[in-house]
Amino acid sequence: MPETPGDFDYEAALAACAAGDRQAMRRLYEHEGPRMLGVALRIVRQRALAEDIVHDACVNIWSRATGYDAARGSARGWIYSVVRHLALNAVRNARRHVDIDEETTHTLEADMSVQAFHDAASSFELNTSLGRLQHCLEALEPARRNCVLHAYVEGCSHGEIAERLGAPLGTVKAWIRRSLSSLRECMA
């Protein structure tokens, strides 16, 4: 029977990785690999790139496990922050390398806004595997929950979120800050 996230000892796995235990990294990958791929895939939206990101994340986790500090957060959170940061960097780097003319930009933006609405609707479906986080997210006001999901699932900047929602940038920043505070309290 597979272990649930609550049964797996992430801190012990990271400590074993830091000590050079290759089997610990294998167990961590077998346990979290599919979810790590899901996080990367939601951000980059390309399976091959997401798989590369998970590979790079595993290499980073293996090589940087000694840098994990339990006082700064959970081991599982640290693992997913590695995945998320690599995925967001891949998206940002891809944006820098695309050169298109202004007319094409306007056409793409119009097409993307329709597609973004459909993508957001499907990606924001809260999965039962989220456990307590799902409950805490559902407790947030929908606009604030969507801000958090745009930022942390899709990797949007505050400015991009403000543009999508037609809300002032300061309001979006405040919503995200307050929502994260509420989530921390709920998860504690």
Residue-wise pLDDT for 127-153, tens only, equals 444 567 777 888 888 888 888 888 887
Q: Give the per-residue pLDDT at 113.
A: 52
Global confidence as pTM: 0.53
Residue-wise pLDDT for 44-88, tens only, equals 989 999 999 999 999 999 999 999 988 888 999 999 999 999 999
Whether residue 16 contacts residue 22, with contact meaning beta carbons closer than 8 Å, is answered with: no
- Two tokens at 44? 């980059």
Looking from the CA of 152 toward its CB, the CA atoms found within 13 Å total 16
- Distance (Å, whole) CA 48 – CA 103: 30
